[in-house]
Amino acid sequence: MAILSDNFDCRSFLEGETAAHGLAAAAFMALTPARLDELRRRLAAIHFPPELSEYLKKSEAMRRDPAMAFPWAGSILMAAVPFSILPDLSPPLPRAKSPDTAGVIAGYAARTDYHLYGKMLMTELLANLEQATDKMFKVEICIDTKPLLERALAEAAGLGRVGRNSCILCAGSGSSCFIISAMLDLDLPDVTVKDTAPLCHSCGQCAKQCPNQVIGATPADFKVNRCISSLTMEKRGLLTDEAMHLLGSNIFGCSVCTAACPEGSLPEDFPLDLEWLLLAPSGEVRRTISGTPVEYAGVTLLRRNALIVLGNKNSEVSCNLIKEFLKKTNSQLLIDTAQRLLAR
Ligand code: SF4
Ligand code: SF4
């Protein structure tokens, strides 16, 4: 493991990077044996809903013990990045011309993919760290895609607090930020920049404003099967009639409980043109959504959601669009979804 010289000032480094990149907070967390024990205790208490995907279930043990997934790591570099600094798309996604053909995309998802932007940002931070320390070290960047309970670790590192809406809350950004992390083969001390007092005021606005009464008093009461984000992004296949109603007018994600949090500043939700999404060639749709978080859903899931939103609108225009799409699709899932909606 690489050891730093006494001349390297961790706090000044983090303060400089936080200011230069507009970060909400940043921290180094040392993975000493005592810290790892503390983290294991903290992570053991995290509630894993029984409806979790197979991938998450398989990696549960590693998620509860960072030393199991990253035995070589001596520390973690973490930062909270406000969604508001994500660059706009150029050109933007096609905007709906009328409310009858609009499907809502959560604002953060109609911008440059935060995974890509976060990776680029972390790569810059690491290059600056390498230069400042004059050390070469092993790293692994983790942004949602590695077996790491990032929100709980960010809380342990002092970046903010996990709120009742399950998001990390940071000073000045509310819950409008995402976490980027890098495991480091480097011996670093604990340092946090912009550490704050507890942030969730338990005001209850997230629970009150959630359209589907998903948020309960404790994390174990979170009804993931009713959550629009989970239904639009993770739940594959044909949805039940009840789940279809729960989508409302959202085709990808939901930002209500994040936006409800005081201090936050989220990009505005985006009304996607569902006529374009359903009738344009699949290749064109794929190319257009490339580089946004929406790409992870894939064209078929987005079209399933678009049909459901049109069915929920239940206007002459929206039903005619479902019928027009039905004439041209070969996907059994989309045929079944469209027929179910038209038979309502
Ligand atoms: S909206 Fe209120 S209760 Fe919900 S996470 Fe934010 S501060 Fe906490
Ligand atoms: S993402 Fe939307 S549906 Fe899910 S808990 Fe938050 S407000 Fe409710």
Catalytic residue among 9, 65, 113, 144: 144
Q: What share of the chain in percent tops pLDDT 70?
A: 95
Instruction: Return the pLDDT at 344.
Output: 85
Question: Model confidence over 53-83: pLDDT tens digits?
Answer: 666 777 888 899 999 999 999 999 999 999 9
Where does ligand 2 bind, in terms of residues with CB under 6 Å?
210, 212, 214-215, 227-229, 254, 256-257
Instruction: Return the pLDDT at 173.
Output: 82
* pLDDT-derived band at 110, boundaries 50, 70, 90: very high
Distance between first and last Cα of the chain: 63
In this prediction, residues 94-105 reach a mean pLDDT of 97
Residue 3 has pLDDT above 70, yes or no: no
Lowest mean pLDDT among 124-128, 139-143, 200-204, 267-271: 200-204
The residues, ordered by sequence, that sit 6+ positions from 326 with a Cβ below 8 Å of its Cβ are 335, 338, 339, 342
Using CA atoms, how far apart are residues 216 and 207, in angstroms rounded to an integer? 7
Instruction: Return the pLDDT at 219.
Output: 77
| CA 326 to chain CA mean position, Å | 32
Instruction: Return the pLDDT at 52.
Output: 61
Question: Model confidence over 5-55: pLDDT tens digits?
Answer: 667 899 999 999 999 999 999 999 999 999 999 999 999 988 877 666 666
Question: Model confidence over 199-235: pLDDT tens digits?
Answer: 787 899 999 999 999 998 887 788 999 999 999 999 9
Please tell me the distance between residue 247's alpha carbon and the centre of ligand 2 in angstroms.
Answer: 10
In this prediction, residues 162-175 reach a mean pLDDT of 87
Q: Atom 2 (ligand 1): residue with closest C-alpha?
A: 203
* pLDDT-derived band at 141, boundaries 50, 70, 90: very high
In this prediction, residues 166-181 reach a mean pLDDT of 89
* Strand spans (E) along the chain: 2-3, 25-30, 75-82, 102-105, 139-142, 161-162, 168-169, 177-184, 186-187, 191-193, 250-252, 270-273
Measured from the CB, is residue 322 less than 6 Å from ligand 1? Answer: no
- Ligand 1 atom at minimal distance to the Cα of residue 207: 4
Measured from the CB, is residue 61 less than 6 Å from ligand 1? Answer: no
Instruction: Return the pLDDT at 335.
Output: 98
The residues, ordered by sequence, that sit 6+ positions from 240 with a Cβ below 8 Å of its Cβ are none
Q: Atom 1 (ligand 2): residue with closest C-alpha?
A: 254
Assess whether 113 carries a catalytic annotation: no
Query: For the chain, what is the mean pLDDT?
Result: 92
Please tell me the distance between residue 204's alpha carbon and the centre of ligand 1 in angstroms.
Answer: 6
- Write down the domain spans for the chain: 2-87+113-193, 205-342
- Count of beta carbons in the 10 Å neighbourhood of residue 234: 16
Encoded tokens for 274: 């569902």
Measured from the CB, is residue 200 less than 6 Å from ligand 1? Answer: yes
Using CA atoms, how far apart are residues 76 and 140, in angstroms rounded to an integer? 10
Please tell me the distance between residue 162's alpha carbon and the centre of ligand 2 in angstroms.
Answer: 15
The residues, ordered by sequence, that sit 6+ positions from 201 with a Cβ below 8 Å of its Cβ are 262
- Ligand 1 atom at minimal distance to the Cα of residue 205: 1
Q: Cβ(4)–Cβ(135) under 8 Å?
A: yes
Measured from the CB, is residue 261 less than 6 Å from ligand 1? Answer: yes
In this prediction, residues 97-121 reach a mean pLDDT of 95
Q: Cβ(317)–Cβ(325) under 8 Å?
A: no
Question: Model confidence over 79-88: pLDDT tens digits?
Answer: 999 999 999 9
**Any idea which ligand is nearest the CA of 174?**
1
Instruction: Return the pLDDT at 197.
Output: 59
